Amino acid sequence: MALPCSPTRHCSLLLLVAGVLLLLLVGSMRPCAATLDEDIELIWGASHTYFFMDGPDTESLALSLDEQQGSCFRSKNTYLYGTISMDIKLVEGNSAGVVATIYTISEGPWSYHDEIDLEFLGNVSGQPITLHTNVFANGVGGREQQFYLWFDPTADYHTYTIEWNPKYILIRVDGKAIRAFKNYEDQGVPYPTWQQQRVYGSLWDADEWATQGGAIKTDWSNAPFVAYYRNYNTTWCRPSPGVSWCGAEPKDSPRFDLDQQTLTDLQWVNANYRIYDYCTDHKRFNESEFPKECYLQRAGL
């Protein structure tokens, strides 16, 4: 809203400007909790979605899918390094064939696009939902890891986070690290370092592959399928003091090294809940054909 400009309000206006600058400075130093209908936009299936108040102070978005159409939103902003998180409650009951997503993707040509994927593959009632993750860099993907979760993701909201910095892409669930993809660009492995990415969330039908390799199809008698999203938060990547931005962080800086708790979480999840890792898929790759980062990880680099 534009403020009237007059001599009697000159001091007040100066104070207001100073206050706004202070708020902007403080806001740049802490997580930003986005108001959903201001910071995301619906791009398809608007007739299948609705915003609602989930409690006195929490705005949520319901995405739905029926036999005619699914639904999708995207962020209005794009990001180059940062932390993005959202609370999601997945489709209840028989969700075989249905996929809910939260992911980031660049907007340049597909041949060299970057993407960080979290896809939740539905299942028949009583069977676990699979969290399917993948990373694309410069158009190169095929870096899938899949996980079961240690809770029922349809019973309540849980927080899913993409943490992207110049050294690692971390995927967290309720704050617990489940996957770390390291930057080996200096070894010739592509890594997302220069393209801004936009956040997307969607609910769609993928019964040709999503559940048991496509063996179980979507049961449309259970439609509409509904997944709920809330608490969209973004935090810009913070470099070391004196460094202009995260992309300028010195390569030997320990700024983005993994702490002991993160390493412990990764070990626990990988031992108990990881069900697929492309770096151990000997049916897919001959020993000499694994992606280069797989050998580097085995060597502890």
CB environment 165-197: b (16+ within 10 A), e (fewer): bbbbbbbbbeebbbbbbbbbeeeebbbbeebeb
* Cis peptide upstream of residue 291 (ω within 30 degrees of 0): no
- The backbone torsions φ and ψ at residue 135, rounded to the nearest 5 degrees and listed phi first, read -130, 130
Tell me which H or E stretch contains 213: none
CA distance 95 to 81: 33
- Residue 41 is a catalytic residue: no
Q: Which candidate in 41, 59, 67, 115 is catalytic?
A: 115
Q: Which candidate in 67, 92, 107, 119 is catalytic?
A: 119
* Token pair for 158: 């849980």
- Residue 115 is a catalytic residue: yes
Pair 164, 182: CB distance under 8 Å: no
At residue 16, what is the residue type?
L
CB environment 99-111: b (16+ within 10 A), e (fewer): bbbbbbbbeeeee
**Catalytically annotated residues:** 115, 119
